[in-house]
């Protein structure tokens, strides 16, 4: 599902870009497309011998048990750094 959702958002992004009217939605759809492509690449994920089917399962079981106070966005950035290092410079917090 994540890959299809990513493609859907990417197509919406391209459509909105051609209209030149809704740049805020171009950015929004681009972000969510990237998020879903990344989650598609990351999951299912095996961590310490435990398999996690999707991000929400991982976030709920691993991070809450470790008592980490990471937002879902920062947790995704950490997963990308660890598991998709070639993408990490593109998937980060921009200040």
pLDDT at 42: 96
Average pLDDT over residues 60-67: 73
Check residue 83 and give left, alpha or beta (phi > 0: left; psi -120 to 50: alpha): alpha
pLDDT at 1: 55
46-75 in b/e form (b: 16+ CB < 10 A) is eeeeeebeebeebbeebbeeeeeeeeeeeb
pTM of the predicted structure, to 2 decimals = 0.84
pLDDT at 90: 87
pLDDT at 48: 86
Quote the CA–CA distance of 83 and 12 in Å, as a whole number.
28
pLDDT at 71: 84
- Each residue's pLDDT tens digit, 27-53: 999 999 999 999 999 999 998 899 999
């Amino acid at each position: 599902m994540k890959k299809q959702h990513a493609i859907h958002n990417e197509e919406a992004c391209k459509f909105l870009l051609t209209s030149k009217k809704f740049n805020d939605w171009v950015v929004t759809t681009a972000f969510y497309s990237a998020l879903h492509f990344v989650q598609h690449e990351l999951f299912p994920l095996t961590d310490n011998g435990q398999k996690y089917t999707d991000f929400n399962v991982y976030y709920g079981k691993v991070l809450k048990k470790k008592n980490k106070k990471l937002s879902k966005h920062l947790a995704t950035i950490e997963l990308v750094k660890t598991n998709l290092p070639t993408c990490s410079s593109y998937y980060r917090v921009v200040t």
